[in-house]
Structure 1
């Protein structure tokens, strides 16, 4: 894994290009500060060797990442689209919602569905419903996700995720538009996904 460290000094705006990653060191960020996404989509993951880059959450505009609730070894923030965030945000108080905890719970629930095909279906629906947009008979995700990452998220191998993705392509339920960083999914596929609540 390749990443840079987030500067210790809080900043009102910090930008990353798609594919870039920063590591947040919790020991340098005491006092309950947090990161807040201003624009774009980020993947939050654990860089520990034992977890091999386990995804904890995806964040979008307005979501916060509390730095006082991180693993002692730190956390990584990967830009899936061009990303802008601030590292000097004050944590929202009394909202009763934590984006990272909610994503972690939903991803854990997906991993407990009966088989890999159901898990993939539920994952794609979760990503589209949270981070995508509907465009007629299709839904667009503003980023692509690797077969290896899909395997990690649904608890299968890359080979299994590739086989399942190929099946969706043959059924004209998934497309990757040439020259675009997005992923298109049939609206009917998303609407028929297992309900995750």
Structure 2
């Protein structure tokens, strides 16, 4: 994972290739700025050693990451697909939908489900509902997460995650097309998930 902290110009978009990460360092002038995703899907995570890269949110085109709401260590933005974003100004009293807070709440709700199987089911459904699309007989998710990352999100080990994903694949509810960067999930899996929105 590579981190770099370039200066963020207001108008020019910044691009990250899939797999690249950018450390967003909070600074005194950050209160009036946000990062607006123009294209792609990003994972927002905490860079602190204590949290081990804990995922806070996923962002897509149109979402904003408000720089005045970062922890003192900042946050990292990882490109899950080719990513383009720009710094923009916002009013300090701006209210309304906050994508990072909403994602953090949803991920916290998933972590409180009773079993790892329920948590995985709810996570896959949430990702598809928020970041995927229906395409024929399947729902497509445009990126993949490692089994280790999924384990972090659902509060289990990589080994348990692999076992649970294998079971879903055997039920033909999940397809991982070779040579492609995304996943395909059966609509029945998405629609029957705990905490379905």
Superposition TM-score tier, normalisation by shorter sequence: over 0.9
Match of 1:17?
Answer: 17
Aligned positions of 1:149-168 closer than 5 A: 149-168=149-168
Alignment partner of 1:165: what SS? helix
2:45 corresponds to: 45
Q: Does 2:191 match 1:191?
A: yes
How many angstroms does 1:57 deviate by?
Answer: 0.2
Would you say 1:61 and 2:61 are equivalent positions?
yes
Does the 8 A contact of 2:9 with 2:86 survive in 1?
A: no
Give 1:94-173 correspondences, 5 Å limit: 94-173=94-173
Asked whether the 8 Å contact 2:20–2:79 carries over to 1, the reply is yes
Residues 105 and 53 of structure 1, relative CA distance in 2, 3 Å threshold: same
Structure 2 alignment gaps of length 5 or more: none
SS at match of 2:76: strand
Secondary structure (helix, strand or coil) at the match of 1:44 reads: strand
CA-atom RMSD in angstroms: 1.6
Using structure 1 for the length normalisation, give the TM-score: 0.94
- 1:61 and 1:8 map into 2 onto residues whose CA distance is 18
C-alpha displacement of 1:88: 2.8
Shift in alpha-carbon separation, 1:91–1:134, aligned structure 2, 3 A: farther
SS at match of 2:23: strand
Q: 1:16·1:79 contact (CA, 8 Å) conserved in 2? A: yes
Tell me how many residue pairs correspond in the alignment.
197
Mean Cα displacement is larger for which, 75-84 or 1-10?
Answer: 1-10
Q: Could you tell which deviates more after superposition, 23-32 or 97-106? A: 23-32
The unaligned stretches of length 5 or more in structure 1 are none
Instruction: State the distance in 1 between where 2:71 and 2:188 align.
Output: 39
- SS of the counterpart of 2:57? strand
Q: Name segments (4+ residues, structure 1) moved above 4 Å.
A: 91-95
Structure 1 residue 87 displacement after superposition:
1.5
Distance in 2 (alpha carbons) for counterparts of 1:180 and 1:137: 17
- Answer yes or no: is the 8 Å Cα contact 2:144–2:183 preserved in 1: yes
Q: Distance in 1 between matches of 2:185 and 2:139?
A: 5
- What residue is the counterpart of 2:182 in the other structure? 182
Q: What SS class does the counterpart of residue 30 from structure 1 fall into?
A: helix
Distance 2:145 2:61 in 1: 19
